[in-house]
Amino acid sequence: MKEQLTLFHTDTERAAQTDDPASNKIEQVSFRELVPEISNTGYLTHAIFAYPAKFIPQVVRYAITTYTKEGNWIVDPFAGSGTVGVEAYLCQRNAVLFDLNPLLNHIMPLKVYRGKEILSERHLHKLLDGMRESTHRFMPAWSNVAYWYTPEVLEVLSRYWGFIHNTDNEIYATIIKSALLKVSKRFSYTEDRTPKLARSKRKLKAIEELLKENWKQQLEEMTRSLSLKTLKDLNDFMIHTQPNLEHLGEVEFHGGIDSSYASVPRECEALITSPPYLQAQEYIRSTKMDLFWLGHTEEEIRELSRLEIPYRKADRLIQTETLEKIRKMLTRDDLQKRLDSYFCHTVNALENSMNRLRPNAAACIFVGNPRVDGIMVELWRILAEYFTERGFVFEKVYEDKIKARKLFGARKNKNPDGMKSEFLLVLRKNAICQTFAQQRESSLQDEGFPQHVSRKSPDSDAS
């Protein structure tokens, strides 16, 4: 989209000037060094599912151990792939997770597996052998499915998925399902080196070459090896958590929910979250191939996509000193609307969850400083200004400099260096916040906002 490309700037960088003393409280850190016990961001069950822009567990672990105690409840309104839920569980905390993407409901039963018996490779092999001989069929309820697959590949995948959808939803079938998601993308026409669903010349040629080889064997072997790896990860997870099994917490998850208006079921002692990046908010589109194979319908996915920020209008204008300066610097109406939409719905979701924090609870919000038309947008500062005006106390902000960032080589990057740093903003809830929370809730009720607000979405691509 033209609007998305122009969010990245290629020449000089401008920033809205501020005299905020909070800048003097920025603490330079390396979360990987602060949390040396986590040497691999994909350890245990974190890497079972592919998901764009994952929250690294070192940041979450630091926030949990610094700002919560065992048995506390943590809320994450932008749960994504469930990193906060996994880390909360490992640290004997409880978590309630929300995300617009229903993939969360499929991710969490594996990532926080509460089984007590070591899983059997023999049993898994037996199920995989049965899948290979299956005569069941499952075809996604996706009008464009044939656009993404060759007929021969689609026939094999439909049999494999048919077997899984006709197998009791036990842990072994769920393990195979997680492997099939990766296999179904690998053997499709979508470019698997970029997060969004998009055909590429490179991938078309790769599939053409693959079909000249023994591709069925490769597809089966990939499914088997990924399934075995996930089984091992779950066994490692059980061994790791077994000594504390009686003290492990609960993880509630609610996928397919608009966290801007969802009811948080209990008061919490902390919020730990990472909102969507300003430049990349289309997570439903990025994972819709997975969702179709998992059985979600085209209508359901379309309705959820309409709630994503690029297609959603602001229902109120967020105003802070820094944000107003940025608005004045922007010359394009479309970028102003995109900015207003982002802050409206990001703040709505944060505020909805932060209203359920107990007094003195910490709100830990991990963000970057993206650029819009060459103007740096200090997300942490804007959020700090907004919430301190409503009774929250600014505690500190941590800056974690990014030493390495993997960019996608298959596309032209408008911002080839990426963001230089990411920031963990920490706010404390004051008793005065209750007054603002009640005013916000009353305002929403008076204006008649429902839990889900649909907006019409353009559907211009073949997906």
- Quick one: DSSP state of residue 36? T
Q: How confident is the model at residue 280 (pLDDT cuts 50, 70, 90)?
A: low
3-state secondary structure at position 73? strand
CATH number for the region 2-112+250-447 comes to 3.40.50.150
Residue 34 has pLDDT above 60, yes or no: yes
- How do residues 435-448 score in pLDDT, each as one tens digit? 555 555 555 445 44
Residue 373 has pLDDT above 70, yes or no: yes
Q: Compute how many other C-beta atoms are within 10 angstroms of the C-beta atom of residue 456.
A: 9
Predicted pLDDT at 414: 43
What DSSP line would sit under 79-140, residue for residue? -TTTHHHHHHHHTT-EEEEEESSTHHHHHHHHHT----SPPPHHHHHHHHHHHHT-------
3-state secondary structure at position 161? helix
pTM: 0.87
**Is the separation of the CB atoms in 421 and 401 below 8 Å?**
yes
pLDDT (mean) for 93-106: 97
- How do residues 223-277 score in pLDDT, each as one tens digit? 999 999 999 999 999 999 988 777 788 999 999 999 999 999 999 999 999 999 8
Q: What are phi and psi of 372, to 5 degrees?
A: -120, 115
- Tell me the HSE value of 249 on the side-chain side, using a 13 A CA sphere: 21
With tokens 């691509």, the residue in question is 461
Residue 367 has pLDDT above 90, yes or no: yes
d(CA 410, CA 255): 31
Q: Compute how many other C-beta atoms are within 10 angstroms of the C-beta atom of residue 280.
A: 17
**Is the separation of the CB atoms in 270 and 68 below 8 Å?**
yes
Residues 6+ apart with CB under 8 A from 445: none
- How do residues 213-228 score in pLDDT, each as one tens digit? 999 999 999 999 999 9
| Direct distance between the N- and C-terminal alpha carbons of the chain, in angstroms, rounded to an integer | 15
With tokens 């099994």, the residue in question is 245
Residue 410 has pLDDT above 80, yes or no: no
One-letter amino acid identity for 46? Answer: H
pLDDT (mean) for 445-456: 39
**Is the separation of the CB atoms in 454 and 320 below 8 Å?**
no
One-letter amino acid identity for 379? Answer: L
Give the Cα-Cα-Cα angle 28, 357, 81 (nearest 5 degrees).
65
Q: How confident is the model at residue 402 (pLDDT cuts 50, 70, 90)?
A: confident
Predicted pLDDT at 180: 98
Q: Compute how many other C-beta atoms are within 10 angstroms of the C-beta atom of residue 23.
A: 11
Mean pLDDT, rounded, of the chain: 86
One-letter amino acid identity for 64? Answer: I
Please report, for the chain, the start and end positions of each structural domain, with discontinuous segments joined by +: 2-112+250-447, 121-240
Predicted pLDDT at 215: 96
Residue 139 vs residue 196, higher pLDDT: 139
Residue 415 has pLDDT above 80, yes or no: no
Q: Which two tokens stand for residue 199?
A: 């055909």
Rounded to the nearest 10 degrees, the angle between the axes of helix 333-354 and helix 379-388 is: 50
pLDDT (mean) for 367-385: 93
Residue 458 vs residue 161, higher pLDDT: 161
pLDDT (mean) for 197-211: 93
Residue 357 vs residue 193, higher pLDDT: 357
Residues 6+ apart with CB under 8 A from 101: 80, 255, 256, 283, 284, 287, 291, 304
Predicted pLDDT at 11: 36
